[in-house]
């Protein structure tokens, strides 16, 4: 296949089709939050997509397992959009969502600078948020670089160029109220 054709063809996406019972609502909300954290493209009710790679496929497989364990149904599909326009629309929607998140970081960094208060805590919090956003940023918008620059400027102002502002040892980053590390699926258990 010619190299220029590979560039024009839509890429492969991993799709999760799922359905959960309305009650109890806790599993449905947990799945929704995890999908939101992954930055999925919502194709329709109960159908989401991510650009296909080993990581995104595994993450959606974990969520599919969780949906099934909660009494629902789920299946994973690999697909390609029929046209580049369709893929561009998906990518644009995902990039726009990340752009809004990055803009929020830029605004928060500006507020921290304007407040004149200690910025060390703000730098740590904003850097953690940048890492979380970066994990779901498949199509980086221009706001990404501006957000990183705003946090770097805030870190320089606080006198902690590395942005850490702490001597605490590195802890696994968590995204959930229960403190489960991001790399660990919530439902994964030792099987004997």
Q: What one-character-per-residue DSSP string does 28-75 give? A: HHHHHHHHHHHT-EEEETTEEEEE-SHHHHHHHHHHHHHHHHTT-EEE
pLDDT in tens, 64-96: 999 999 999 999 999 999 999 999 999 999 999
Predicted pLDDT at 116? 74
Question: Where do the domains of the chain lie, and which CATH numbers do they carry?
Answer: 3-80 (3.30.70.240), 94-158 (no CATH)
Confidence (pTM): 0.74
As a whole number, the mean pLDDT across the chain is 83
Predicted pLDDT at 157? 84
d(CA 12, CA 110): 39
pLDDT in tens, 94-126: 999 999 999 999 999 999 988 877 788 899 999
pLDDT in tens, 24-39: 999 999 999 999 999 9
């Amino acid at each position: 296949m010619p190299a220029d054709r590979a560039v024009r063809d839509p890429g492969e996406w991993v799709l999760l089709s799922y359905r959960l019972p309305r009650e109890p609502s806790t599993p449905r909300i947990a799945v929704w939050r995890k999908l939101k954290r992954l930055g999925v493209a919502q194709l329709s009710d109960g159908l989401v997509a991510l650009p296909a790679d080993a990581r995104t496929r595994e993450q959606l497989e974990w969520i599919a397992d969780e949906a099934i364990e909660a009494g629902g149904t789920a299946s994973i599909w690999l697909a390609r959009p029929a046209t580049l326009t369709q893929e561009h629309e998906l990518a644009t929607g995902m990039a726009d969502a990340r752009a809004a998140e990055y803009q929020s970081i830029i605004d928060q960094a500006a507020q921290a600078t304007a407040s004149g208060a200690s910025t060390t805590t703000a730098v740590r919090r904003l850097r953690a948020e940048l890492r979380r956003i970066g994990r779901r940023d498949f199509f980086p918008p221009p706001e990404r670089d501006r957000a990183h620059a705003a946090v770097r400027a805030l870190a320089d102002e606080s006198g902690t160029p590395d942005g850490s502002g702490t001597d605490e040892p590195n802890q696994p980053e968590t995204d959930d109220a229960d403190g489960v590390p991001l790399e660990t699926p919530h439902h994964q258990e030792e099987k004997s």
